[in-house]
Amino acid sequence: MTPLTPISVADDDLALLTDLYELTMLQAYWHQGMRERSVFSLYFRHLPPNRRFMLACGQQYAAELATRLHFSDSAIERLADTGLFRDGFLQWLSHYRFRGDIWTLPEGTPVFPNEPLMEVEAPVAEAQLLESLIMNQVQLETVLASKAVRLVMAAEGRPVVDFGMRRMHGVDAAVRGVRAYRTAGIAGTSNVLGGLRYDLPLRGTMAHSYVLAHDDEREAFQRFAELYPGTTLLVDTHDTLDGVRKVIALKDAHPDLEIGAIRLDSGDLGDLARRSRQLLDDAGYQQIRIVASSGLDEYQIQTLVRQGAPIDIFGVGTEMGASTDAPVLDLSYKLVEYAGKPRVKHSPGKVNLAGRKQVYRQCDANGEFTGDVIARREEYIKEGTPLLAHTIVNGEVDSAHIATLDQARDQACRSISLLPATMRELTSEDDGRSSDDYPVTLSQALQQLQQDECA
Amino acid sequence: MTPLTPISVADDDLALLTDLYELTMLQAYWHQGMRERSVFSLYFRHLPPNRRFMLACGQQYAAELATRLHFSDSAIERLADTGLFRDGFLQWLSHYRFRGDIWTLPEGTPVFPNEPLMEVEAPVAEAQLLESLIMNQVQLETVLASKAVRLVMAAEGRPVVDFGMRRMHGVDAAVRGVRAYRTAGIAGTSNVLGGLRYDLPLRGTMAHSYVLAHDDEREAFQRFAELYPGTTLLVDTHDTLDGVRKVIALKDAHPDLEIGAIRLDSGDLGDLARRSRQLLDDAGYQQIRIVASSGLDEYQIQTLVRQGAPIDIFGVGTEMGASTDAPVLDLSYKLVEYAGKPRVKHSPGKVNLAGRKQVYRQCDANGEFTGDVIARREEYIKEGTPLLAHTIVNGEVDSAHIATLDQARDQACRSISLLPATMRELTSEDDGRSSDDYPVTLSQALQQLQQDECA
């Protein structure tokens, strides 16, 4: 029998969570004495389907993670066992610590194709090693936050709550997804550990199983509401409107019983919400709110909101939990400078922008964003705000440049509100890839460099 | 500044990785003295797009996990801080251990809608608590394995290697994905920790950055091949065929240098593979193999294979890493029996099958599977093999019923080969949902029970 492996990755194992070629390349750099300072840029080439921007998340977390990365004795032993690595290299690896510099976008920044979310500067091996882990971590949060923010926009101010833990890809996704959701403006989560860890209010109702474990639905409602004043009762186990009537009868019989809301979880949510609202209002229970869930995505929420469905809170699981319409982002982590010289890869369709960069976000007289300029890091651009901050300096975290969770949420909320209105529209794949409404251009100096390098 | 939170979930925190309502329902059961034995069934109602079957994975791992679940002192303290729970309940929770029974499908079993992957029998609170974690874990592996097996089938015997770590949703998905991929027949992985943990061969080539860090591509090839005899060289950094010519020139100049393969990572892979093969063969290097990668999915692999493209190994990342066309499975964990009485939820479109069940897989005289019968657990079905095994008995793992990694892989390979040929075809969404080719029926006794319960 295979012993049960742990569910998580201990800090001591984290450096092994990498692609093999990172380690073989590292040994090659070590073997060849290649220690020149390099710059790697993390960016994506194309927006995924249905996205007009991505909400950059996780890059500051990943930068901090980089400073903690180390090879424990047990990690070194396991690498030795592979037979691929020499003793001298493993000794070098056992002393590995990231001592370089990292520039990052603040968490919660809307970001567009070819803009660096992160630039890493260090001797080539130090910077190369980070590739796989950084990509895994930044993709996770950026993909989930970029989906969540669409649900938040669709709800037009009504709270959206995360019910997605069971549909997320494993425990790390479930927990750190809550961090991404919080940045995106999600109002609460059913995920206990995620909510406690990232200070997002815990929310929960009841499951159908609780109702089914009772012989009588009304008894289930009464017992639960007695124990949890102000709770939400799930009314659709047998028949939704019949369930609502039972709530009303219960409240009529026990006026002191506090019932905060009912939850609809199947059927035509708009119609059921209207009819439930009517029943509750007619009975004088205007204060009982309506929570709706059941495979909701941003389009359904937008339709419900615009049709005026009397739904107060949306619970979202599946669609947000894995960002089902766009579960991946084609992040690249590319060498753009080595030993002071810009580097460009020429593979068809995969050319990168050479050299160290900065992104300037420009705005009009009202403060609304009008477009971005990607420039060389060294050049002076008069207009616009530089976005990339010097987060890690010589391997040390500069706390002044790490956003708190609240700052990240505020950054996201404010930035999105300053984008052109068309960028906030929910688009389908066919028309979502146009960036005409938000020009991202290259500075003249960067264009010149690119021409020189591609010549 | 927010302190940096850990990347993973320690064993002591695992019980908190649950939806809040599980804990509030548990307290209600405790408060009401509801301790009756219950049966929960884990199943899905519909196949995701493009899937003709799912490959059940992770359910035995999840069953073992269930027996380890406990609330540490620190977990209890954090729950106390929420103000939602009473001291007596928290004390009960601090002694929580799963002492019930779990029946599971063997890992690597093809599974169809409404068939239980797992049935959990225990006092209601014990069984209820497992819901969120089990669903999260079983979905992760089942979704990834079900995607991976499609790539394996498309490759028709050529090895498929996992390069997906960077596109997977966080560290748990990346590591345990390797477990699922192994079951599905993936031949190797670039993921060091995943490969070491689950004993799947480590595979890796080089990145474009390594080539770019050298002023001369041929020098990069030579240095890498000297250090790693038999390695794979990435030839498309500047111009693919030019890269192949450099490999040939290098080999001509250093006949002793062992070069195992070249890797194509952009452009028209079929055309480039043919032209590269021709160049290599003309130079007398028939033994140098060709690895292809670059956003490959099962349809592209099938096309390449059927066109006879001389590709020896496929590397797959993005499409497999998040199962992009079907990243979620609508798993349900439903109460089907309480206190000896079958239970059914009547919500529209969400009716469950009542009672404890068993699945019988039937076959013809050649041993090929002809269909499944879902039956009551207690009834005797003459034809077919019962699939659900009694994995956890009174909270103890029965090792005889836990598949090893090799057994799971063999189970998957053998079972899939015994399905009707049409079930192994790659289908698109439009025609993939028909199950006419593989009937799954209910036994008469189960039909009768269902009629009685829904009446």
B-chain residues near A346 (CB < 8 A): 237-239
CA–CA dist B259, B173 (Å, integer): 33
Q: Please tell me the CATH superfamily of domain B208-316, with its number.
A: Aldolase class I (3.20.20.70)
Among A112, A111, A118, A113, CA closest to A133: A118
User: Which regions in chain B score pLDDT beneath 50?
Assistant: 1-3, 432
CA–CA dist A251, A177 (Å, integer): 37
Measure A383 CA to nearest chain B CA, in Å.
Answer: 30
B266: nearest CB among A28, A128, A348: A348
Task: Please provide the DSSP assignment of A341-406 as one string.
Answer: EE-----TT-----S-EEEEEEE-TTS-EEEEEEEETTS--SSSEE--EEEEETTEE-GGGS--HH
Q: Is B86 on the interface with A (CB under 8 A)?
A: no
How many CA atoms lie within 13 Å of B136's alpha carbon, on the beta-carbon side?
31
B236: nearest CB among A40, A240, A347: A347
| Position A246 confidence tier, pLDDT thresholds 50, 70, 90 | very high
CATH number, span A145-321: 3.20.20.70
Count the Cβ atoms, other than its own, within 10 Å of residue B430: 9
A-chain residues near B391 (CB < 8 A): none
8 Å CB contact of A9 and B7 = yes
CA–CA dist A67, A392 (Å, integer): 8
Contact B245, B275 (CB under 8 A): no
8 Å CB contact of B223 and A28 = yes
CA–CA dist A324, A151 (Å, integer): 13
* Mean pLDDT on A153-158: 97
Tokens matching residue A47: 């927006």
Q: Is A455 on the interface with B (CB under 8 A)?
A: no
Contact A57, A415 (CB under 8 A): no
CA–CA dist B299, B151 (Å, integer): 8
List of residues 6+ apart from B288 with CB closer than 8 A: B247, B251, B259, B260, B261, B262, B280
Measure B215 CA to nearest chain A CA, in Å.
Answer: 10
Fold entry, domain A11-143+328-454: nicotinate phosphoribosyltransferase (3.20.140)
pLDDT over threshold 70, residue A4 = no
The pLDDT of residue A9: 79
The pLDDT of residue B2: 43
R_g of chain A, CA atoms, integer Å: 26
The pLDDT of residue A432: 47
Q: Is A213 on the interface with B (CB under 8 A)?
A: yes
Among B302, B8, B293, CA closest to B155: B302
- 3-class DSSP state of A426: coil
Q: pTM for the whole thing?
A: 0.96
Domain range list for chain A: 11-143+328-454, 145-321
At B2-13, the pLDDT tens digits run: 445 666 777 888
Which of A328, A338, A351 is the best mutation test for B, with the most CBs of B within 10 A? Answer: A328
B-chain residues near A168 (CB < 8 A): 136, 169
At A81-128, the pLDDT tens digits run: 999 999 999 999 999 999 999 999 999 999 999 999 999 999 999 999
8 Å CB contact of B136 and A210 = no
* Mean pLDDT on A401-424: 95
Contact A101, A392 (CB under 8 A): yes
Q: Tell me: domain B13-144+328-356+388-427, CATH 3.40.640.10, correct?
A: no
How many CA atoms lie within 13 Å of B118's alpha carbon, on the beta-carbon side?
30
B1: nearest CB among A135, A172, A404: A404
List, as ranges, residues 61-80 from A with C-beta within 8 Å of B.
61, 64-65, 68, 78-79
Q: Distance from CA of residue A209 to its chain's centroid?
A: 31
What is the ipTM for the molecules in this complex? 0.95
At B152-206, the pLDDT tens digits run: 999 999 999 999 999 999 999 999 999 999 999 999 999 999 999 999 999 998 8
* Mean pLDDT on A189-195: 97
Which of B233, B242, B347, B454 is the best mutation test for A, with the most CBs of A within 10 A? Answer: B347
